[in-house]
Amino acid sequence: MFIQLFSNYLVEQSVITMEQSTSLQEQILKTHVKLGTIAVAEGLLTEDQAEEINHHQTRQDRLFGDMAVDMGYLTDRQVSELLGKQGDMTMKFIQLLVNTPGQSIETVSEHLRGFQKAYGFTDEEFEAVKKEDFESIMPLFATVRDSNITDLAGLVMRNLTRFVTNNFYFGKMKKAADYSYSMLAGQKSVGEQNIFLGVGAVNDLDGIIKLAQNYAKTVTITNSDEVYDAVCEFVNLNNGLYDSVLSDDDIFIEMLPPEVYLNQQLSGNAYCMPVYIDHAAFDLILSTDTAFLPGDKPHALTLKKTELNIDAAASLPTVLVVDDSALIRKVLINLLNENGFQVVGEAANGAEGVELYKELKPDIVTLDITMPVMDGLTALRLIREFDPNAMVAMITAAGQKDKLMDALREGAELFFTKPFNAQEVISCLKSC
């Protein structure tokens, strides 16, 4: 984040051009290697171990090195040595700047002091920004008394780094009174705490599109509704992780299905934080106001189903995939079809899933828990009533511990947390 923020400052001060900024960031990002990648290259971890640590990060929101030590894969000393090999990205960026025409170490140092002064950072705060310590950085950009707002915003920034891109920065949080938008994708969590997390755009959707495409990765996004669907899944990921933290503190909370709104206006107290990916902006919208409303009328997504090539003669285990997210359905369909299973159908909600199960009678059905029309728990009960021997795997975001326990009591055989570990999914399904 520091590199993007400082680079943007230099562009605003006409020190470098936007083209130079883009070039410098591309160069520095090419040299930024994740800690797990270095550990595998050094022979300290296997690829499976690195993937396992990454997967646990999606559930516990902790640093890779800390997680590796707790799991017994690395020592504190090894992590320290790996961090040294990862390098100081700030110093690398300054070195690149010095090679830019018209810049010297002295002038770059002057620009750094100007940047620090412009943002009002103390020396200690400035060091935290350079180290991209989001826990320390967030209070500098979000002067909000509600810790749920600042903690959730910090979690989103960490997950942007983990699942979307390193090439982003954010601006200062402000109240979002009378916030009118062209698009907003968000999700409410209700119970002992009421929290809304959303991603919106006032006019230009370039930032929203970049977020969706980077999060979807290998899944091709072809239209606006698929963009909105991918953004909903990113919001769902963050809400699940944050809700799991609250549930660990014995705070009951339930996630409602994500929704999309177009060309409307917020009502109630909320906060807005601008985020920039490759200089394309979107807004993070957060609220803990029980009277908050994201909009009047949700937009109904039109999402195409995958064209399945079903070989009736193949002796492969058959699977029905049920999830309201087209992105997750595509990921699961590709994963299962490539690993010895045959997906014979997909459904976008529990009601549709129950009817397809009765029609197709698959060997396995995967069920998301949080879905519109009919949730996964209700669908599970109806499927088990129809077929007491049904093999059901529940797939959901983190933070749904109570519902997962209910699902297991209702007869679900397995459960997986999104974003799921591909190897774990295949291994468990094959063992069943």
- Rounded mean pLDDT of 373-400? 88
- Rounded mean pLDDT of 140-161? 90
Q: Distance of CA 298 to CAs 78, 248, 250, Å?
A: 50, 32, 31
- Rounded mean pLDDT of 109-128? 89
Is residue 370 over pLDDT 90? no
Is residue 23 over pLDDT 70? yes
Instruction: Please state which of the four CATH numbers 3.40.50.2300, 3.40.47.10, 3.40.50.300, 3.30.750.24 is assigned to the domain occupying 318-431.
Output: 3.40.50.2300
Domain range list for the chain: 1-132, 144-303, 318-431
- Strand pairing category for 271-277 and 195-201: unpaired
Which pLDDT belongs to residue 22? Answer: 84
- Rounded mean pLDDT of 233-257? 85
pLDDT, tens digit (0-9, with 9 covering 90-100), for 219-231: 889 899 999 999 9
- Of residues 18 and 100, which shows the higher confidence score? 18
Q: Which pLDDT band holds residue 2 (cuts at 50, 70, 90)?
A: confident
Which pLDDT belongs to residue 309? Answer: 82
- Rounded mean pLDDT of 47-61? 76
Q: What is the DSSP string of 276-329?
A: EETTEEEEEEEE--TT-BS-SSPBPP--PPP-----TT----EEEEE-S-HHHH
Is the separation of the CB atoms in 292 and 261 below 8 Å? no
Is residue 129 over pLDDT 90? no
Is residue 432 over pLDDT 80? no
Q: Which pLDDT band holds residue 285 (cuts at 50, 70, 90)?
A: very high
Which pLDDT belongs to residue 86? Answer: 65
Is residue 209 over pLDDT 90? yes
Which pLDDT belongs to residue 194? Answer: 92
Taking the domain 144-303, which CATH number applies? 3.40.1550.10
Amino acid at 57: Q
Q: Distance of CA 387 to CAs 344, 365, 380, Å?
A: 18, 12, 10
- Rounded mean pLDDT of 419-425? 80
Q: Which pLDDT band holds residue 63 (cuts at 50, 70, 90)?
A: confident
Q: H or E stretch including 262?
A: strand 259-265
